[in-house]
Structure 1
Amino acid sequence: MLAPQTEEAYRRLRRMILSLELRPGEPMVERRLEERLGVSRTPIRTALQQLSREGLVVRSGRVYTVAPVDLAELEEAFEFRQWLETQVVRVAAARRPKAQELRDLLASLEADLDPEVELEKATDFHLALARLTGNRFVVAALAQVLQRIYRARYLEITRPKGAEAALSDHLTLIELVQEGRGEEAALFMQQHLERSREALLRSLEGSALLTRP
């Protein structure tokens, strides 16, 4: 658990990176961050280490910079996520679970919520689906890939109608899983993720935010 000042520094820096207030490739100069955040250097340094573990900043020597958005990595991550989550809903539907937990999660989503809150709840939804498989390794693998593409997902959910489209798709997925329609759920999940991927890549293509191999 992070100390209060470190937690505050971490959350503020994370939000600044996700919202592109701090741009990819921008150096994270500790002295400037002290002035900007109004906290001491030690909490900032610890926060940067945590952000590095999440892939949001990279370190070269003693200097941290905001990590670039790597198109090749995004493509691989989206491909892996699609393979994983289509199988997740097949298995979940075969078990015919009660979906009250998922409905409770969705009921807590509101269109005017803070984007980071909406994204955290969307993450909770996908992980809750994965837990319906009863396989802890599946849950861990999905959590890892969702974390690696967190910044891209943030950009996706903040596009016009992005959060609303995700909510509508999640409701459909719940119905298909609850009714045991595994193949339909897998196809719908594939389409859901493909729409998300295409919208994101359209917004990023040609952008200075991207790096390519």
Structure 2
Amino acid sequence: MSLSAMSLSEEVVALLSEVYDRLRGEIVDGSLDAGAPLVELTVAERYGTSRTPVREALRRLEQDGLVERGDRGMRVRTRSPEEILEIYEARISLEATAAAAAAQRHTEFDLIRIRHAQTAMEATPDDDPRAMAAANRAVHEAIWSAGHNGTIVDLLTRLNNHLTRYPATTLKAHGRWGEALSEHRTLIAAIEARDSERAHDAARGHMAKARELRLQIYQDDLTSPP
């Protein structure tokens, strides 16, 4: 491959990534509502690009679970309480399995990463929902990694992508921030003690509470005035 061809290829990849990131960002932050149509030509004109990178970005977003095919083409994936239950049914089981694996297989370096993430979460102000969600995810990702099972990490990452379409964090519910921090401490203690059964149960209970809060937030959003 010539240098010019390589440069062109790099430019195409960069453009595809840019379109994907912009579309994903608009879906996650709510700029594009659930059910909003995603017409290739319209999106391409808005971004000032051709339809090809838009088509590829939509394909990737469909794989991520953020867009879906409707009767009239692609659209932002719709939300439902049934989907919340489906996501959490899988996530609760996987989080529990990941925690048990972390208890069994963690290294000292894994513990350092988990403790560091928890310390950062403890220091996160409780008036910044985005920072709270990011800090919480960092703890969970450190625990996933400590289980040394790439398939579980991949599946949990994909499930988390689905939840990004539900922008409100459960951590803003009254009293939940402190409760979540405490639950994390219990979970981490079980992992440190290599008590896989206790780690499994702690993770399962932690995520079950998150499911109930997520359903409540969804219901509140439906009944709140526009």
Equivalent in 52, 62, 70 of residue 80 of structure 2:
70
In 1: Cα distance, 2:60 partner to 2:135 partner: 21
Q: Which amino acid aligns with 2:147?
A: T
Equivalent in 98, 102, 123 of residue 114 of structure 2:
102
Task: Indicate the residue corresponding to 2:4 in structure 1.
Answer: none
Task: Indicate the residue corresponding to 1:134 in structure 2.
Answer: 148
The answer to whether structure 1 residue 192 and structure 2 residue 206 are counterparts is yes
Deviation at 1:65, TM superposition (A): 0.7
Shift of the 135–158 alpha-carbon distance from structure 1 to 2, 3 Å rule, reads closer
In 1: Cα distance, 2:153 partner to 2:217 partner: 29
In 2: Cα distance, 1:177 partner to 1:32 partner: 50
In 2: Cα distance, 1:168 partner to 1:194 partner: 15
Q: Which amino acid aligns with 1:49?
A: R
Equivalent in 83, 90, 102 of residue 93 of structure 2:
83
What TM-score comes out, normalization by structure 2 length?
Answer: 0.71
Answer with 1 or 2: which has the greater Rg.
2
In 2: Cα distance, 1:165 partner to 1:130 partner: 21
Q: Output the aligned Cα RMSD.
A: 3.5
Q: Which amino acid aligns with 2:219?
A: E
Contact kept? 2:144, 2:152, Cα under 8 Å: yes
In 1: Cα distance, 2:215 partner to 2:171 partner: 14
Could you say what secondary structure the match of 1:205 adopts?
helix
Name the structure where helix makes up a greater proportion of residues.
Answer: 2
Shift of the 14–171 alpha-carbon distance from structure 1 to 2, 3 Å rule, reads farther
Alignment length (residue pairs):
207
Could you say what secondary structure the match of 2:99 adopts?
helix
Shift of the 170–9 alpha-carbon distance from structure 1 to 2, 3 Å rule, reads farther
Equivalent in 159, 163, 168 of residue 155 of structure 1:
168
The answer to whether structure 1 residue 57 and structure 2 residue 67 are counterparts is yes
| Percent of aligned positions that are identical | 28
Equivalent in 23, 28, 40 of residue 30 of structure 1:
40
Deviation at 1:191, TM superposition (A): 2.4
Q: Which amino acid aligns with 2:152?
A: V
Q: Which amino acid aligns with 2:117?
A: L
Could you say what secondary structure the match of 2:65 adopts?
coil
Could you say what secondary structure the match of 2:168 adopts?
helix
The answer to whether structure 1 residue 11 and structure 2 residue 18 are counterparts is no
Q: Which runs of 5+ in 2 are unaligned?
A: 1-9
Q: Which amino acid aligns with 1:74?
A: I
Write out per-residue CA displacement over residues 73-109 of structure 1, whole angstroms, 9 at most, x where no aligned residue.
3212212221222233233224464310223334555
Q: Which runs of 5+ in 1 are unaligned?
A: 209-213
Contact kept? 1:156, 1:196, Cα under 8 Å: no
Write out per-residue CA displacement over residues 169-210 of structure 1, whole angstroms, 9 at most, x where no aligned residue.
4344223311334443333222221221111111112756xx
